[in-house]
Structure 1
Amino acid sequence: MRELLEAVADGSLSPAQAEAELRGYVTGEAGRFDAARDQRRGIPEAIFAAGKSAEQVVALAETALETTDRALLTRVSESQFDALETHLGERAPDATIDRRGTSVRVTTPHHEPPSLDATVGIVTGGTVDEPVADEAAVVCLDAGATVDRVDDIGVAALSRTLDQLDRLREADVLIVAAGREGALPTVVAGLVDTPVIGVPVSSGYGHGGDGEAALDGMLQSCTVLSVVNIDAGFVAGGQATLIARAIDAARD
């Protein structure tokens, strides 16, 4: 405790960093940021940008960078990203921004990226599934896993799936995102011996086209797979990260 107080007093530690050390979270005007989640859970807190103002997103990202040297953001709109980019240009011009669709990862030069000896295959049925897959990829890359993207291999033309079978079998864990009837994760899970995480995507026509048909289909899969909620790329990425970390530990 005394060391923390002395560090705050001499300016080598900010109040937010000290609060993160003591409580595990930091409280600001935009809400609380769980700075200790990565150590406690193995997956960092992500800033869910949807429904927040640009100012709130920027404030939470700044808190994340100050306390953990990185920030993960999901469902970021164009206006929110513009505000974030402007703020970082003024306050943290040496920060690195990795934007993938509506997901953003920001790191400072002080961040020490981890490395996992594990590969996560991230598969999409079609182009419309890619933003959800991007969200999963950001989480896995942040954890240090190798990500192998295999896009646009939906079962409407089964040959597209079978053409990539050897590649799919090389992954340690697979995330498979698909909309419409959601058949792709079931097909893939029946052809590989690695864990498969199905992600239903809210794409399609009319009844069930909001992802419910895909979700129901995956839940009723006769081949073994895990299923997350509709469009829940972050959750799938987090689950794959935990599996990849266990594989890395076993290989060590």
Structure 2
Amino acid sequence: MSAYSTLNVRRLAAVTGLTLVSVVGLATAASAHVTVNPKEAVQGSYAKVSFRVPNERDDAGTTKLQVDLPMDHPLASVSVRPVPGWSVKVEKSKLTTPIKAHGAEITQAVSRITWSGGTIEPGQFQEFDVSMGQLPDDTDRLVFKATQTYSGGEVVKWDQEPKDGQEEPEHPAPVLKLTKAAAATGAGASGAPTVTTVSATGAKAGSADDGTARLLGGLGLAAGVVGIAVGGFGIARGRSKA
């Protein structure tokens, strides 16, 4: 290869490398926002979710996270897991329409959770765990609007609700998708539950068939070994006679 060709190859490699770095950088910046994990939970259940907060700045740390819980679908039970180095404040709001839970009428529900006092350094992330329930069964999502505060005073609001079939907004709010609970049993053509059972006699028959198959397989293997031995013996005799 000529010196000119070698130079061109090096230039092409350098340009390709810079392009890949730029693409990776854009992808990281686009995906680095406050999210709720896991992203799905079952309607009517209780769930433990984590609000994952990455630090998007190179010159400042994240010092506070505020999460607003949806009051149009209030949660009767909310508890937080302590995070070392962080303090937490839980606020409640009065409900316009009380809800019933555990046989009692609930007139207030947690509306906001704020973590502060700690620092998420550049290049790091932190998860804040919350146990919540009973999840509603009349909606397919819960939207948690979040506010991220940096040590330099910058405030970033993650409060734009993503819409199905549309591009993700610039500052999407964390969304927990709610799915319907799976049926405990299947249903046949008539709509009646179908149940699959295995009888004791069937299990025994299966065991017997399996044992028979193993026995036949063993006999076949033994016959093969004997055949090989006989063949080898015949070849040896033929060579000795020759």
In the superposition, the TM-score normalised over structure 2's length comes to 0.24
Relative contact order: is structure 1 or structure 2 higher (C-alpha 8 Å, sep ≥ 6)?
Answer: 2
In the superposition, the TM-score normalised over structure 1's length comes to 0.24
Higher relative strand content:
2
Larger of the two Rg values belongs to structure: 2
